[in-house]
Amino acid sequence: MNFVTGYCRLNEDFCAVNGEVISRRHIDSEDSWFKQIYKEQEFVYPKFYKMDLLSQAGFLGAELIKRGNLRVASSYPDDEIAMIFANGSSSTDTDIRFLRSYEGNSSPSPSLFVYTLPNIVLGEIAILNKWYGENMFAILPNFEPGFFINYLNITKAGGSKAALCGWLEILEGKVDVFLFFVEENEETGTPLNAENLTSLFNQKPSIN
Amino acid sequence: MDILKEDLKRQIIEQLNLEDITPEDISDDNLLFNEEGLNLDSIDALELIVLLEKYHGIQVTNPDEGKVAFRSINSMAEYIRKRKS
């Protein structure tokens, strides 16, 4: 049986890990919201600054889940952690930024261009963690627990023992991100089923 | 102080989003693509080409020229001066 053993929720106003708010957006800050979290949590990964918002969200979610669950980084060989991500708007947010980067006779930005695919975030997380397991990024109308549950079974059949899953919806200022880590037989977690996933997705986090 | 080199450092930081780095951190002879230098990658190389066109009106059309020009701040400045002379 599969269990959710860590999760991170991120929207326009707060970032929560395992149900507890760890960061709130400061409206008057000069830094972007994701940069505020990066600095507050004292991450050191300069490549973060070059990433698009989708990859920044994936980086933050994955790293924060790892901090809350040390097994993520230490208990699995590099090919046993799968990644299963989805969203509704693909890379549209970055596509728009890329389009704007060469309006008015400016040169297109190569560093933005490389992020004009949604699955680049998977590559960023895989490179950072040296995870070489199965991965996929689906475009779906809404957060759909059944998709993750079904695809987890497929990756499990292929030899994966754990998976980082994520709903990463980012478009023109709207942020709706939910990352969760799934492991087999770790009964300290929440049993993985559609009802529990929906409940974690909609959970109102507590303030620590 | 060489104004062109100082400008280049600021432009590189802005164009490449090197937010943790200040112009003072970049010495004129740092190898830009070396781990002991700025550790830039292939996408950064494309951004340097954009930078030269955007700020200095120079188009790099010969890849071999870029390879030499982008070694360091010194070589970039030298390349710009040569192209403008």
Say if B54 is an interface residue toward chain A (CB within 8 Å).
yes
Q: Say whether pLDDT at A207 is over 70.
A: no
CA distance B35 to B42: 14
Q: What average pLDDT does the segment A15-31 reach? A: 94
Gap from A110 CA to chain B (nearest CA, Å) = 6
Q: Which of B12, B13, B14, B19 would best serve as a mutation to test chain A binding (most A beta carbons within 10 A)?
A: B19
Gap from B79 CA to chain A (nearest CA, Å) = 21
Q: Which residue of B has its CA nearest to A44?
A: B20
Q: Say whether pLDDT at B34 is over 90.
A: no
- Measured CB to CB, residues of chain A less than 8 Å from chain B are 46, 49-50, 106-107, 109-111, 114
HSE-up (13 A, CA, CB side) for residue A47: 13
| pLDDT score, position B61 | 87
Gap from A41 CA to chain B (nearest CA, Å) = 15
Contact criterion met (CB below 8 Å) for A202 and A28:
no
| pLDDT score, position B66 | 87
Q: Which of A94, A107, A112, A113 would best serve as a mutation to test chain B binding (most B beta carbons within 10 A)?
A: A107
Q: Which of A82, A85, A87, A38 is nearest to A64 (CA)?
A: A38
Displacement of CA A183 from its chain's centroid (Å): 17
Chain A residues in contact with B46 (beta carbon < 8 A): 110-111
| pLDDT score, position A208 | 59
ipTM value:
0.75
Q: Which of A46, A106, A110 sits opposite B43 (nearest CB)?
A: A110
Tell if the pTM clears 0.95, that is, is over it: no
Highest mean pLDDT (candidates A97-101, A113-117, B33-37, B63-67): A113-117
Mean pLDDT for chain A overall = 93
| pLDDT score, position A18 | 94
CA distance A33 to B29: 36
Q: Say whether pLDDT at B23 is over 90.
A: yes
Contact: A107, B19; criterion CB under 8 Å = no
Say if B3 is an interface residue toward chain A (CB within 8 Å).
no
| pLDDT per position as a tens digit, A65-110 | 999 887 777 889 989 999 999 999 999 999 999 998 888 767 788 9
| pLDDT per position as a tens digit, A133-181 | 999 999 999 999 999 999 999 999 999 999 999 999 999 999 999 999 9
Q: Work out the pLDDT band at B36, boundaries 50, 70, 90.
A: confident
Q: What average pLDDT does the segment A42-47 reach? A: 92
Contact: B46, A46; criterion CB under 8 Å = no
The percent of residues in chain B predicted with pLDDT above 70, rounded, is: 100
Q: What average pLDDT does the segment A6-20 reach? A: 96
Largest CA distance in chain B: 34
| pLDDT score, position A3 | 94
Q: Which of B18, B21, B50 sits opposite A110 (nearest CB)?
A: B50
Q: Write the secondary structure of chain A as one string of H (helix), E (strand) and C (coil).
A: CEEEEEEEEEECCEEEECCEEEEECCCCCCCCHHHHHHHHCCCCCHHHHHCCHHHHHHHHHHHHHHHHCCHHHHCCCCCCEEEEEEECCCCHHHHHHHHHHCHHHCCCCHHHHCCCCCCHHHHHHHHHHCCCCCEEEEECCCCCHHHHHHHHHHHHHCCCCEEEEEEEEEECCEEEEEEEEEEECCCCCEECCHHHHHHHHHCCCEEC
Say if B53 is an interface residue toward chain A (CB within 8 Å).
yes
CA distance A10 to A203: 12
Q: Say whether pLDDT at A56 is over 70.
A: yes
Q: Say whether pLDDT at A15 is over 70.
A: yes
